[in-house]
Chain A
Amino acid sequence: MTSEILLETRGVTQRFGGLVANSDVSISIKRGEILGLIGPNGAGKSTLFAAISGARVPTSGSILFEGQDITQMPAAERCRLGIARTFQVPRSFDSMSVAENVMIGAFVRHANATRARAAALEVLDYVGLDGRADATAGQLTPPEKRRLEVARAIATEPKLLLLDEVLTGLTPSEARLGMDLVRKVRARGITVVMVEHVMEIVMQLVDRAIVLNLGKLLAEGSPAEIVRNEDVITAYLGDRHRAA
């Protein structure tokens, strides 16, 4: 029987000199959900994201993926286990075509280039970039680049996809398309964690939200609970939400 909890952080603390970016953060991510990780700037979202994705080993605490301790595991190995991520500023391989970018992700599951290519084309089809397969990644528009980031990550066939501000900086119509894409990702059976600080968009999309503030866990719950939470309103949303 597979557990309902896909990933768990236990007392994750990250210090940078005197600055405590994450202080004793314990959260769990449930299988199949879309989880929002939100908080104002400097709340420690990106730090926690780095600890989960394997970009940085936390000062203390541990991270468990499907019950296995992955705290010290390098990112490439986590990817094989089923954790994929996107970058806040898209980091495409610009000397390669769009399809080749996605193949890099697909190679984790397919050693053979032809198979990887087939898998990459299937993913491009799924995310709606099939028309751009042979363009170079550098030619893509910014929203297309975000889509490519997601495609690359999906091609690694993850169980957990970590999205770093994929909806930030998009126009409202682009953001709507982005939200559709996130829903499609979940429809593939992939658990999604989104780091965002634009709360209005995230709340329409997520099943559950976790709010960080000043490096600590402030609140967690359904979007409806979060927007009514007094602590969250004070720390983050501000008084205009209270008035409304």
Chain B
Amino acid sequence: MTDATLSSLKLRGDAFIAKRRRQLVVAAAVFAAVACLPLGIRDVYLQNVLILTLLYAAVSQSWNILGGYCGQISLGHALYFGIGAYAASVLYVNYDIVPWFGMVVGGVLSAILAVGLGFMTFRLKGHYFAIATLVIAEIGLVLVHNWDFVGGALGIQWPFGTDSIWTLQFARDKVPYFYFALGLLVVVWLVTYFIENSRWGFWWRAVKDDPEAAESLGVEVFRSKLAAAAVSAFFTAVGGGFYAAFVSYIDPESVMSFRFSLLFALPAVLGGIGTLWGAPLGAAILIPLTEITRSYLGGSGSGLDLIIYGALIMVVALAKPEGLLSLFTRKSGGKA
């Protein structure tokens, strides 16, 4: 392979390497700017919106790993989110195990479940796969509803205690939650970044574009999907665990309903699926919009926010199917 070694020297100035480096610099700048936000925003309600925005950005980015990069559209990620929330809650409330650990347990359980479910569902194509994920998540919701060990329909209340980084309980100040959510987003973003530039990332995109051609080029299509599902489920569950610690009370409807599955998919779809910044951009638009309509136009029962999602998705699908992010990227340069 002397030819390849020669060209790898040539690669130093190559667009590919330059692009990768530029992406990291941009990310550092964006995350640093976001980290400064609490300095200016002292209003608790606005801080709350920011925290949720970052959380949904992180979870939607996790969804994006499976749905955007690998092309397997899941409408059941609420299942993994719920498992994360319940794992953290049960372990903390019943066994006094810190939520940091509970989140990871939830993540591992979700990843294992995702691989198991993948064995059954990844033979399904397109819409059939999406429908299967939706149905499985609904089954999960019903099971948790009727499972007394995890509180059944009543849910789990986290005990009030002193503020502590270990228990992730901060009653007086929201800012630590902000930084945890930002940290989670940074981690998921970095994981996505490294995967995007690795063999797995390329394989996943090949699987999404044309599985048969991918297979003929040595791509392990089925294993690729399982790997994407596991990574995606893991971080979704970690997000769920954090959400439980943040709201201090969970019940089946508040962490596992279909609404959540939608809220994980929509930011990525809105911003641009299979991109590094699509999900964060989508969340930055969608989540504040949701929270504002909910507080000004009445509770979540009104469904007005769902009407807005629907309208937004229709606009995006008709005008910019590749997502809003494509407005910011140069035509010739490929993805951002």
Shortest CB-to-CB span from B6 to chain A, Å, is 8
**Is there contact, CB below 8 Å, between A117 and B209?**
no
Asked whether B27 is an interface residue with its Cβ less than 8 Å from the other chain, the reply is no
Distance of A110 Cα from B203 Cα, bound (Å): 13
Contact status B216-A85, CB under 8 Å: yes
Residue from B1, B8, B205, B218 within 8 A of A76 (CB atoms): B218
Q: Decide: A122 near B7, CB < 8 A? Known: A84-B217, A108-B217, A116-B199.
A: yes
Interface readout for A103-115 with B: 1 if CB under 8 Å, 0 if not? Answer: 1110110111111
A117 touches B11 (CB 8 A): yes
**Distance in Å from the Cβ of A60 to the closest Cβ of chain B?**
24
Select from chain A the residue with minimum beta-carbon distance to B9.
Answer: A118
Q: Tell which of B10, B203, B333 touches A104, judged by Cβ atoms closer than 8 Å.
A: B203
Kindly provide the distance from the CB of B216 to the nearest chain A CB, expressed in whole angstroms. Answer: 5
Which residues does chain A contribute within 8 Å of B17, judged by CB atoms? 114
Q: Is A115 within 8 A of B8, CB to CB?
A: yes
Contacting A at CB under 8 A, from B180-207, are 197-199, 202-203, 205-206
- Which chain B residues border A4 with CB–CB below 8 Å? none
A153: B residues at CB distance < 8 A:
217
Do A121 and B7 touch across chains, with their CB atoms under 8 A apart? Answer: yes
Q: Is there contact, CB below 8 Å, between A134 and B220?
A: no
Segment of A62-70, A91-99, A226-234 in the binding face: A91-99
Identify A84's interface contact among B7, B205, B208, B216, CB under 8 A.
B216
Chain B residues with CB under 8 A of A80 = 218
Given that A53-B216, A95-B274, A107-B202 are known contacts, is A118 also in contact with B334, CB under 8 Å in the complex?
A: no
Q: Is B307 an interface residue (CB 8 A)?
A: no
Interface residues of B in 286-335 (CB under 8 A from A): 332-334
Flag whether A28 is at the interface (Cβ < 8 A). no
Contact: A156 with B217, CB < 8 Å? yes
CA distance A112 to B194 in the complex (A): 12
- Say yes or no for A79: interface residue by CB 8 A criterion: yes
CB pair A134 B209 closer than 8 Å:
no
Cα of A139 to Cα of B186 in the assembled complex, Å: 34
What 1/0 mask marks residues of chain A from 69 to 94 whose CB sits below 8 Å from any chain B CB? 00000111001100011010001111
CB-based contact B15/A134 at 8 Å: yes
CB pair A75–B274 under 8 Å, yes or no, is: no
Contact, CB under 8 Å: A95 / B217: no
A113, B199: Cβ atoms closer than 8 Å: yes
Q: A119 on the interface (CB 8 Å rule)?
A: yes
Q: Is the CB of B209 within 8 A of A114?
A: no
Question: What's the nearest-Cβ distance from chain B to residue A173, in Å?
Answer: 27
A97 to B206: give the CA distance in the assembly, Å: 12
The CA of A167 and the CA of B221, in the complex, are separated in Å by: 29
A136 touches B334 (CB 8 A): yes
Tell me the minimal C-beta distance from A242 to chain B in angstroms: 40
* B25 at the binding interface (Cβ < 8 Å): no
Closest residue of A by beta carbon distance from B331:
A136
**B8 closest partner in A (C-beta):** A118
Nearest A residue (CB) for B1: A119
Interface residue? A152 (CB, 8 A): yes
Q: Tell which of B3, B202, B220, B274 has the most Cβ of chain A within 10 Å.
A: B202
- Indicate whether B210 reaches chain A with its CB closer than 8 angstroms: yes
Residue B132 is within 8 A (CB to CB) of chain A in the complex: no
Contact in complex: A122, B203 (CB < 8 Å): no
CB pair B16 A79 closer than 8 Å:
no
Cα of A166 to Cα of B37 in the assembled complex, Å? 58
Closest Cβ neighbor of B71 among chain A residues: A95
B209 close to A105 (CB less than 8 A): no
Say whether B213 faces chain A, with CB atoms less than 8 Å apart: yes
For A97, what are the chain B residues with a Cβ–Cβ distance below 8 Å? 334
Task: State how many angstroms separate the Cβ of B219 from the closest Cβ of chain A.
Answer: 6
In Å, the complex CA distance between A114 and B5 comes to: 10
Q: Which of B4, B205, B208, B221 has the most CB of A within 10 A?
A: B4
**CA A115 – CA B219 in complex, angstroms?**
17
Q: Judging by beta carbons under 8 Å apart, are B213 and A113 in contact? A: no
11 chain-A/chain-B pairs, Cβ below 8 angstroms:
A55-B212, A79-B216, A79-B217, A107-B203, A114-B8, A116-B202, A119-B7, A121-B11, A125-B7, A134-B334, A152-B217
Seen from chain B, the residues whose Cβ lies within 8 Å of a Cβ on chain A are 1, 3-5, 7-8, 10-11, 14-17, 197-199, 202-203, 205-206, 208-210, 212-221, 274, 332-334
- State the 7 A-B residue pairs at the shortest beta-carbon distance, nearest first: A79-B218, A108-B218, A93-B209, A118-B8, A91-B213, A118-B7, A105-B217
* A84-B217, A105-B217 known, 6 other contacts, Cβ within 8 Å: A74-B215, A76-B215, A76-B216, A91-B213, A95-B208, A114-B11
- Chain A residues packing against B (C-beta within 8 Å): 53-55, 74-76, 79-80, 84-85, 87, 91-97, 99-100, 103-105, 107-108, 110-119, 121-122, 125, 134-136, 152-153, 156
